[in-house]
Amino acid sequence: MIHDSLQRRDALEGLTVEQLLEQRSSVVLLDVRPREEFDLGHLPGALNIPVTELRARMDELPRAVHIVAYCRGPYCVLSNDAVAMLREAGLTAQRLAAGYPEWKAAGLQVDLPRH
């Protein structure tokens, strides 16, 4: 019970941008926004599996790696939902406290569409 409570709190608080930058080489970034939003820009190297497709596409994710899910920002519930599904499937997952808009506004590198 305490472990479940800590996991829920961990999912809600999320990983800070600074923590992600320190761990970047050892995590898989999962953008759970709709494909249309992902195509307009995303964090470098992120995979896109919209939260609505996540259960059906879970096998596309590596099993032995820490997954960091993100979406539209700190109040976007998509990443919370994704983390719950990933953990339910036995994967190690956490959400990024910030989202794509905050990442971009901070001047950090983003992958943009090529025209």
Distance between CA 4 and CA 57 in Å, rounded?
A: 25
Domains contained in the chain, number: 1
Does residue 37 carry a pLDDT above 50? yes
Distance between CA 54 and CA 65 in Å, rounded?
A: 17
What rounded mean pLDDT belongs to the chain? 89
Reported pTM: 0.87
Q: Annotated catalytic residue: which of 51, 71, 91, 96?
A: 71
Cα atoms in the Cβ-side hemisphere of radius 13 Å centred on 29: 24
Position 114 in a domain: no
DSSP 16: -
Residue 14: pLDDT band (50, 70, 90) is very high
Does residue 1 carry a pLDDT above 70? no
Q: List the domain range (segments joined by +) for residue 73.
A: 2-105
Asked if 15 and 78 count as a contact pair (C-beta separation under 8 A), the reply is no
pLDDT, average across residues 48-62: 97
pLDDT, average across residues 32-61: 97
Domain with 47 in it: what CATH number? 3.40.250.10
Position 45 in a domain: yes
Letter string b/e over residues 51-66, b meaning 16 or more CB atoms within 10 A of that residue's CB = beebeeebeebeeeee
| Sign of the alpha-carbon dihedral angle for 11, 99, 57, 24 | negative
Catalytic residue status for 71? yes
Does residue 7 carry a pLDDT above 70? no
